[in-house]
Amino acid sequence: MVLFCRKEYFMKQELLAKMNAYLANQEIMYIKLHNMHWNLKGHGFFTLHSKLEEYYDQTADIIDEVAERILAKDALPIANLKEALEISKVKELPDKAINIDEAIRILTIDVEYWVNDSKEIVELADKEGDVVTADIFTGYVKEYEKTLWMLKAFAQN
Protein backbone atom coordinates (compact mmCIF):
# COMPACT_ATOMS: atom_id res chain seq x y z
CA MET A 1 0.00 0.00 0.00
CA VAL A 2 2.78 2.45 0.89
CA LEU A 3 4.60 1.69 -2.37
CA PHE A 4 1.42 2.30 -4.36
CA CYS A 5 0.83 5.64 -2.62
CA ARG A 6 4.45 6.65 -3.16
CA LYS A 7 4.25 5.76 -6.87
CA GLU A 8 0.96 7.65 -7.19
CA TYR A 9 2.50 10.67 -5.42
CA PHE A 10 5.51 10.74 -7.75
CA MET A 11 3.29 10.37 -10.83
CA LYS A 12 1.18 13.33 -9.64
CA GLN A 13 4.32 15.39 -8.95
CA GLU A 14 5.72 14.57 -12.41
CA LEU A 15 2.47 15.69 -14.05
CA LEU A 16 2.34 18.90 -12.00
CA ALA A 17 5.98 19.70 -12.78
CA LYS A 18 5.34 19.16 -16.48
CA MET A 19 2.22 21.33 -16.34
CA ASN A 20 4.16 24.10 -14.60
CA ALA A 21 6.93 23.87 -17.22
CA TYR A 22 4.23 24.08 -19.89
CA LEU A 23 2.77 27.13 -18.14
CA ALA A 24 6.21 28.79 -17.99
CA ASN A 25 6.67 28.19 -21.72
CA GLN A 26 3.28 29.76 -22.44
CA GLU A 27 4.06 32.76 -20.25
CA ILE A 28 7.31 33.41 -22.13
CA MET A 29 5.57 32.73 -25.44
CA TYR A 30 2.96 35.36 -24.63
CA ILE A 31 5.69 38.01 -24.47
CA LYS A 32 7.49 36.55 -27.50
CA LEU A 33 4.32 36.73 -29.60
CA HIS A 34 3.89 40.38 -28.66
CA ASN A 35 7.51 41.04 -29.62
CA MET A 36 6.93 39.53 -33.06
CA HIS A 37 3.59 41.32 -33.43
CA TRP A 38 5.11 44.72 -32.67
CA ASN A 39 8.38 44.29 -34.57
CA LEU A 40 7.20 42.45 -37.69
CA LYS A 41 8.31 43.87 -41.05
CA GLY A 42 7.86 42.95 -44.69
CA HIS A 43 5.55 41.47 -47.29
CA GLY A 44 2.67 39.65 -45.63
CA PHE A 45 2.74 42.02 -42.64
CA PHE A 46 -1.01 42.54 -42.40
CA THR A 47 -1.81 38.84 -42.52
CA LEU A 48 0.76 37.73 -39.94
CA HIS A 49 0.35 40.81 -37.72
CA SER A 50 -3.34 39.94 -37.21
CA LYS A 51 -2.59 36.26 -36.75
CA LEU A 52 0.03 37.00 -34.07
CA GLU A 53 -2.57 38.99 -32.13
CA GLU A 54 -4.91 36.02 -32.35
CA TYR A 55 -2.12 33.74 -31.08
CA TYR A 56 -1.27 35.87 -28.07
CA ASP A 57 -4.93 36.22 -27.14
CA GLN A 58 -5.26 32.44 -27.36
CA THR A 59 -2.08 32.05 -25.29
CA ALA A 60 -3.51 34.30 -22.55
CA ASP A 61 -6.53 32.00 -22.33
CA ILE A 62 -4.29 28.93 -22.17
CA ILE A 63 -2.16 30.46 -19.42
CA ASP A 64 -5.27 31.05 -17.32
CA GLU A 65 -6.74 27.61 -17.98
CA VAL A 66 -3.51 25.74 -17.18
CA ALA A 67 -2.85 27.80 -14.03
CA GLU A 68 -6.38 27.18 -12.80
CA ARG A 69 -6.04 23.45 -13.50
CA ILE A 70 -2.81 23.35 -11.49
CA LEU A 71 -4.62 25.12 -8.63
CA ALA A 72 -7.49 22.62 -8.89
CA LYS A 73 -4.90 19.88 -8.36
CA ASP A 74 -3.85 21.54 -5.07
CA ALA A 75 -0.58 22.96 -6.37
CA LEU A 76 0.73 26.43 -7.12
CA PRO A 77 1.27 27.61 -10.70
CA ILE A 78 4.39 29.47 -11.70
CA ALA A 79 3.32 33.10 -11.66
CA ASN A 80 6.53 35.08 -11.99
CA LEU A 81 8.72 35.68 -15.02
CA LYS A 82 12.00 35.03 -13.21
CA GLU A 83 11.06 31.45 -12.43
CA ALA A 84 9.32 31.01 -15.78
CA LEU A 85 12.50 32.06 -17.61
CA GLU A 86 14.57 29.63 -15.54
CA ILE A 87 12.56 26.58 -16.60
CA SER A 88 11.19 27.61 -19.99
CA LYS A 89 12.44 25.90 -23.12
CA VAL A 90 10.91 28.71 -25.18
CA LYS A 91 13.53 31.37 -25.77
CA GLU A 92 12.90 35.09 -25.80
CA LEU A 93 13.59 37.23 -28.84
CA PRO A 94 15.67 40.41 -28.87
CA ASP A 95 13.82 43.69 -29.35
CA LYS A 96 14.49 44.23 -33.04
CA ALA A 97 12.75 44.02 -36.40
CA ILE A 98 11.80 40.54 -37.52
CA ASN A 99 10.92 39.61 -41.07
CA ILE A 100 8.01 37.37 -42.03
CA ASP A 101 10.13 34.35 -42.97
CA GLU A 102 12.05 34.43 -39.69
CA ALA A 103 8.86 34.87 -37.67
CA ILE A 104 7.25 31.86 -39.40
CA ARG A 105 10.41 29.77 -38.89
CA ILE A 106 10.51 30.60 -35.16
CA LEU A 107 6.77 30.04 -34.72
CA THR A 108 6.95 26.68 -36.48
CA ILE A 109 9.69 25.49 -34.12
CA ASP A 110 7.76 26.68 -31.08
CA VAL A 111 4.45 25.18 -32.22
CA GLU A 112 6.14 21.82 -32.91
CA TYR A 113 7.35 21.96 -29.31
CA TRP A 114 3.80 22.80 -28.10
CA VAL A 115 2.40 19.76 -29.92
CA ASN A 116 4.97 17.40 -28.40
CA ASP A 117 4.73 18.96 -24.94
CA SER A 118 0.93 18.73 -24.95
CA LYS A 119 1.03 15.08 -26.03
CA GLU A 120 3.44 14.30 -23.20
CA ILE A 121 1.07 15.86 -20.67
CA VAL A 122 -1.87 13.90 -22.12
CA GLU A 123 0.14 10.70 -21.66
CA LEU A 124 1.08 11.56 -18.06
CA ALA A 125 -2.49 12.56 -17.24
CA ASP A 126 -3.82 9.32 -18.74
CA LYS A 127 -1.38 7.29 -16.60
CA GLU A 128 -2.63 9.14 -13.51
CA GLY A 129 -6.27 8.71 -14.53
CA ASP A 130 -6.71 12.49 -14.73
CA VAL A 131 -9.24 12.65 -17.55
CA VAL A 132 -9.88 16.38 -17.14
CA THR A 133 -6.22 17.35 -17.67
CA ALA A 134 -5.93 14.83 -20.52
CA ASP A 135 -9.01 16.35 -22.17
CA ILE A 136 -7.73 19.93 -21.83
CA PHE A 137 -4.37 19.08 -23.36
CA THR A 138 -5.89 16.88 -26.08
CA GLY A 139 -7.76 20.00 -27.18
CA TYR A 140 -4.46 21.88 -27.29
CA VAL A 141 -2.92 19.16 -29.47
CA LYS A 142 -5.81 19.54 -31.92
CA GLU A 143 -5.39 23.32 -32.13
CA TYR A 144 -1.59 23.24 -32.29
CA GLU A 145 -1.54 20.64 -35.07
CA LYS A 146 -3.91 22.85 -37.08
CA THR A 147 -1.72 25.90 -36.38
CA LEU A 148 1.38 23.98 -37.44
CA TRP A 149 -0.25 22.96 -40.71
CA MET A 150 -1.26 26.57 -41.38
CA LEU A 151 2.21 27.95 -40.61
CA LYS A 152 3.83 25.42 -42.94
CA ALA A 153 1.31 26.27 -45.68
CA PHE A 154 1.98 30.00 -45.21
CA ALA A 155 5.74 29.39 -45.42
CA GLN A 156 5.34 27.88 -48.90
CA ASN A 157 4.76 31.31 -50.51
Percent of the chain with pLDDT over 90: 89
Q: 75-87 pLDDT, tens per residue?
A: 999 999 999 999 9
The DSSP element (H or E) to which 40 belongs, if any, is strand 40-41
pLDDT given at position 2:
47
Pairing of strands 98-99, 40-41: parallel
Domain ranges in the chain are 2-155
Residue in 68, 79, 72, 70 with CA at minimum distance from that of residue 16: 70
The DSSP element (H or E) to which 130 belongs, if any, is none
Mean pLDDT of 10-24: 92
pLDDT given at position 12:
83
**Residues 148, 132: contact at Cβ < 8 Å?**
no
- Mean pLDDT taken over the chain: 93
Rounded to two decimals, the pTM is: 0.91
* CATH class of the domain comprising 2-155: mainly alpha
Q: Give the contacts of 41 (CB within 8 A, at least 6 positions apart).
A: 97, 98, 99, 100
pLDDT above 50 (res 111): yes
Mean pLDDT of 87-105: 95
β-strand partners of 94: none
Residue in 17, 25, 24, 141 with CA at minimum distance from that of residue 90: 25
Among the residue ranges 8-17, 27-36, 58-67, the one predicted with the least confidence is 8-17
